[in-house]
Structure 1
Amino acid sequence: MPGKMPWKMAAGAAAIVLLASGCSGSSSDDAEALPNSISIGIVEPTSLIPSNVVETGGSQVLASLYYPLVRFNDKSTPYAVAAQSITHDKANRVWTIRLKPGFTFSNGEPVTADNYINAWNYGAYGPNGQLASYFYSRIQGFADLQSEDPDGKDGPAQAPEPKARTMSGLKKVNNTTFTVTLSAGFAGWESVMGYTAFYPLPKAAWESEGVLKKDFAEAPIGNGPFKIKGKWQHDQQIQVEKVADFKGTIPKVNAINWKIYQDLSTQYNDLVAGNLDVETQIPVESLSQASSDLGDRLLKSPSSGFDFVGFPLYDEKFKNPQVRRAISMAINREEMTEQIFLGSETAATAFVSPVLQGARRNTCGPNCEYNPIKARQMYTAAGGPAEIKITYNADGGHKPWIDAMCNQIKSSLGVNCVGTTVPKLTDLLAKVRAREDVGLYRLAWSMDYPLMENYLGPLYTSDGSSNYGAYKSTAFDTLVRQGSEAPTVEQATKYWQKAEDILAKDVPVLPLRFSQNVFGHSDRVTDVTMDLFAMVDIYKIDIAS
């Protein structure tokens, strides 16, 4: 998620699913506490509209407000949750979704097929500018909802209206059944529908047909186990309380206070002082003392997180792949993970998280091996820039490793390297999207759905939602597409592996680390777990007796 754009990049990214690592602000005295509630630290979300969320902070809040069509078991296999059943034809092209009866939104509205169709069409409609719109692109008719870029020699012009406002691939069968026709078969589509962008929206969300109420994101109405209390208090908190008579899996706690932080260290101090119940990312500078501070309340679990630094390939200084390879070989990933992260993360020498089926080790080969002598020779011969700038968000605790990475680059390449901050992840993403002069940029990705393709399509295809560096490779695009159209995920993986081999040669980003969840909790709570999506399981966590 992007990152998941952390950048659930997001996103991550995958959705990021891009990782919003970092966060800070409110103390337990800032707001009225809900009865039998717990508090979990997050970063300020970019949005609370499902189709506009591509980072972990927003995704975590939405997971409490909405109930997905599918969730995933310990083997990353999807199983129906809000759906009664999901079936498909032999070509994996026409998918039929039957909803469980009796589910309602928190305002009492029944959940129907229209709620999904309307929400997905809104997210896909180009002029709405939804950050997760890419995830609908496989649905037949998606292209008709996009506007052509009107910019020309005479400067920016008004974008023409798209050909359509709704996707032809979405059809209502009855109130609890609808079909999704894809432009081409995709065996992994059921997994994709577990992503944040595929939540439904109630009738109360709409100002008029296809027009969302301007303030809906301030107090979204979902179909999940919790409902928002009041409104989103920006940079402070988002309070949610349990929905009465919820038909799905019922959480053990009655309420959650999502406390918003701008600084991981402040969040950690709140955790140690007992003013916060869960911190999902222990800051780097606190790793050495966390064991003594927290004891058995310091926990670790597998994560799909992938930390990297992106190249702005629209900048002439970084278009030469030899320059990118040289910078990659100038970095000692193992030393960084051991000395800065104390072994809590592992050096990444591949582009796909090892938690996924089909992932391989060391696919980056020599281009990700520390070789300072060869790196300097290659960099000099390729005419690399005299200074390298790395921009990162100050709210994520990244300064220690950015400084270490810059020191390695200076030593290996003999050029200056500086780290530059912006206040928040949202600020960084805005600058990168606008192609401002940020130099290299720090990002991370947590999977949106458990398929190898999720680490390839959004981040590197020509139309990828989180392809911020503007990487383009026809051969790569073709292999990703061929994999998506393969009849089984096993066959698809062979194409996706070949696509990753192209990334290893081109190095559009610098793979740095594969992360695990390193988190802590107060003595008020028990059964605290985090999943591969780097999110707290809100159904398991409980208040200690």
Structure 2
Amino acid sequence: MIPLRSTALTAATVLTVVASATACGPSEPAKSDNASGKPGGAYSVALTEPDHLLPGRTTSSYSLQVLQGLFDPPAALDPNDGTPKPLAALSWLTDDNVVWTIKFRSGTTFHNGEKVTAASFADAWNAAAYGPNAWDANYYFAQIKGYDALNPADEGAKPTARTLSGLEVIDETTLRVTLKAPFGQFPMLLSFPAFAPLPKAATADPDASDVAPIGNGPYRLDGTWERNQKIKLKKFAGYGGPREAMADRIDFKIYTSRETAFTELQAGNVDVLTTVPAANSAQAKRLFGERFSVRPSGTMDYLGLPVKDPRFADPRIRKALSMAIDRKGITQAIYNGVYQPATSLVGDVIPGHRSDACGKTCAYDPAAAKKLFEEAGGFDGPLELYFSNSDPTYEQWMTSVANQLKDNLGIQDVKFRKMAPADLSSLLNDGKNKGPFRQNWVIDYPSIQNYLDGLYYPGNRSGWSNGEFDALVAKGNAAKGNEAVATYQKAEDIALRDLPYIPLWNWQDQSAWSDRIGNVVIDSYAAGLHLDRVTVND
């Protein structure tokens, strides 16, 4: 689960698809020519300050962009269709979607020279899954047998184990993984950076490795992490994986806002910005031409509702709120028409996405909204709206939503609760909010299941649960191919019927880069820029 993550997607890939200036469909990655193709040189990337650099400790896309160069997880995702491909692993086999045998590459090492083995993966996964460690990516390991023993449900209870019983190291290159239940999406999960291996030094002293990570990827840390200023990487000469690094060095330059980073890109002070502000899309296209890309995204914004609050307990109230929101007007006014009004719980790049899944519930209809709101009895008291201060557009669209709810439903007492992302995350996770909140989801892998599990996990921020929904998700997990997709769609229908999260809009990713570099690799399924593929022209 990755609530309140930033705009970039999260699954590291190793593929050679390159972005152009035109938007493309989910199965049609954009392409541009490689201007040089020569190895060597250095380039810079604009970045927001990461929270951590130890894979299991972070789900932030800012961190994952750096980790994409430092670590190789077992799998990568094909940008054409999102299918998992081997990376640190050579293969994964299963007969029942429960027991998986993963075979890893031999002869690879970490940046400190330590051999990468199956145990390196098992140790990393155990550390992330152990509840008392409180690593952010902990929940990604919930599918593995033994997770519950490491994360007891009862408050105050202590774990009864330190390692996942579902992990068995067979030999140096073989790991057997037993899941709690059939889960056909498991190979996709293996592409998430939290499943990367860790050396013994990292599991012994995770705090030190959090700021000075020791990975197994094509790049290694160069010097120290200069907080709020710079992170430097250099090519790892001992890399034995399949990703050949083209540039010798990469400098991540830290900026506090995307607007500032865009100004720096125009001035030639940074080479790549993967998150061009929507308001600058026309200017970016004019200035950068074929070096500006707009791509469909799996990132979605929602209005989360605390359904255990009696005022929001009636689904009719929740549907009335949804129908009172003019998604098209907001995306035009605030996001320059780049973002697209949501008609589903999932992004339109996801296999199985249905453009009419939400139906009339997500269509702007003030009269019907007011009628439904009044039929449900409305509610008294102030309407408090919660959002973070990390992007000025969040307050802008919350202001628009507030005005529309006032005008269309007659809710006059609306208060804003704006706070730092970390504070908001803590408040929402503890269920202490007293009203609707901005909820963002960034895909980890292109599956409907990723949204369903990520938004509606047990104890989720909305407080919603439904046994029929849970059963359908479990049935989808055990199924394959089209059967799995159809079952997940039935679960999505239940979530849309009850509407604990109101879908708002589907992001579109915008990137631009300087003429100093070529072979820029960005696709709809990636963690952002594919660092290893970029070439330097001078």
CA offsets 1:277-326 (integer angstroms, 9 cap, x no match): 22222223323433334333321123211122222334333232222111
Paired with 1:43 and 1:431, the residues of 2 have a C-alpha distance of 23
> What RMSD over aligned residues (CA atoms) do the two structures have, in Å?
2.3
Q: In the alignment, what sits opposite 1:307? A: 301
Paired with 1:205 and 1:40, the residues of 2 have a C-alpha distance of 26
Q: In the alignment, what sits opposite 1:525? A: 517
Tell me if structure 1 keeps the 8 A contact 2:54–2:206: no
Paired with 1:509 and 1:343, the residues of 2 have a C-alpha distance of 23
1:385 CA displacement: 4.6
Give the alignment partner of residue 347 of structure 1, picking from 328, 341, 350.
341
Matched, 1:393 2:420: no
Q: In the alignment, what sits opposite 1:108? A: 113
Q: In the alignment, what sits opposite 1:271? A: 265
Q: In the alignment, what sits opposite 1:25? A: none
CA 1:469/1:80 → structure 2, altered by over 3 Å: closer, same or farther? same
What pairs up with 1:299-378 in 2 under 5 angstroms?
A: 299-378=293-372
Paired with 1:339 and 1:172, the residues of 2 have a C-alpha distance of 55
Q: Name the SS for the 1:303 alignment partner.
A: strand
Tell me if structure 2 keeps the 8 A contact 1:38–1:257: yes
Tell me if structure 1 keeps the 8 A contact 2:123–2:203: no
Q: In the alignment, what sits opposite 2:85? A: 79
Matched, 1:468 2:461: yes
Paired with 1:432 and 1:9, the residues of 2 have a C-alpha distance of 20
1:419 CA displacement: 4.2
Q: In the alignment, what sits opposite 1:170? A: 167
Paired with 1:198 and 1:392, the residues of 2 have a C-alpha distance of 30
Q: In the alignment, what sits opposite 1:512? A: 504
Matched, 1:142 2:147: yes
CA 1:8/1:80 → structure 2, altered by over 3 Å: closer, same or farther? farther
Give the alignment partner of residue 432 of structure 1, picking from 402, 416, 428.
428
Paired with 1:47 and 1:502, the residues of 2 have a C-alpha distance of 36
After the TM superposition, which of the residue ranges 299-308 and 391-400 deviates more from structure 2? 391-400
CA 1:122/1:469 → structure 2, altered by over 3 Å: closer, same or farther? same
1:391 CA displacement: 2.5
Q: In the alignment, what sits opposite 2:485? A: 493
Tell me if structure 2 keeps the 8 A contact 1:112–1:175: yes
Give the alignment partner of residue 43 of structure 1, picking from 34, 39, 48.
48
1:172 CA displacement: 0.7
CA 1:428/1:45 → structure 2, altered by over 3 Å: closer, same or farther? farther
1:10 CA displacement: 10
Paired with 1:429 and 1:39, the residues of 2 have a C-alpha distance of 30
**What amino acid maps onto 2:107 in structure 1?**
G
1:458 CA displacement: 1.7
Tell me if structure 1 keeps the 8 A contact 2:118–2:174: yes
What's the TM-score, normalizing by structure 1? 0.87
Tell me if structure 2 keeps the 8 A contact 1:287–1:341: no
Q: Name the SS for the 1:258 alignment partner.
A: strand
CA offsets 1:356-394 (integer angstroms, 9 cap, x no match): 221111211111111111212322443235543333222
Paired with 1:430 and 1:513, the residues of 2 have a C-alpha distance of 24
What pairs up with 1:194-209 in 2 under 5 angstroms?
A: 194-207=191-204
Paired with 2:403 and 2:210, the residues of 1 have a C-alpha distance of 42
**What amino acid maps onto 2:187 in structure 1?**
E
**What amino acid maps onto 2:490 in structure 1?**
K
CA 1:133/1:384 → structure 2, altered by over 3 Å: closer, same or farther? same
Tell me if structure 2 keeps the 8 A contact 1:120–1:136: yes
**What amino acid maps onto 2:403 in structure 1?**
N
Higher relative contact order (CA 8 A, sep 6+): 2
Paired with 2:43 and 2:346, the residues of 1 have a C-alpha distance of 34
Matched, 1:455 2:451: yes
Q: Name the SS for the 1:274 alignment partner.
A: coil
1:226 CA displacement: 1.0
CA 1:386/1:366 → structure 2, altered by over 3 Å: closer, same or farther? farther
Paired with 2:89 and 2:185, the residues of 1 have a C-alpha distance of 16
Give the alignment partner of residue 119 of structure 1, picking from 121, 124, 128.
124
Tell me if structure 2 keeps the 8 A contact 1:125–1:166: yes
Tell me if structure 2 keeps the 8 A contact 1:41–1:258: yes
Tell me if structure 2 keeps the 8 A contact 1:305–1:515: yes
CA offsets 1:228-286 (integer angstroms, 9 cap, x no match): 12333332232221111312211222222222222221121111111222222222332
CA 1:213/1:245 → structure 2, altered by over 3 Å: closer, same or farther? closer
Paired with 1:418 and 1:269, the residues of 2 have a C-alpha distance of 33
Q: How many residues align?
A: 505
CA 1:534/1:329 → structure 2, altered by over 3 Å: closer, same or farther? farther
What's the TM-score, normalizing by structure 2? 0.88
Tell me if structure 2 keeps the 8 A contact 1:41–1:260: yes
Gaps of 5+ in 2: 13-39
Tell me if structure 2 keeps the 8 A contact 1:6–1:57: no
Give the alignment partner of residue 224 of structure 1, picking from 212, 217, 220.
217
1:8 CA displacement: 6.8
Q: In the alignment, what sits opposite 2:418? A: 421
1:201 CA displacement: 0.6
Tell me if structure 1 keeps the 8 A contact 2:127–2:133: yes
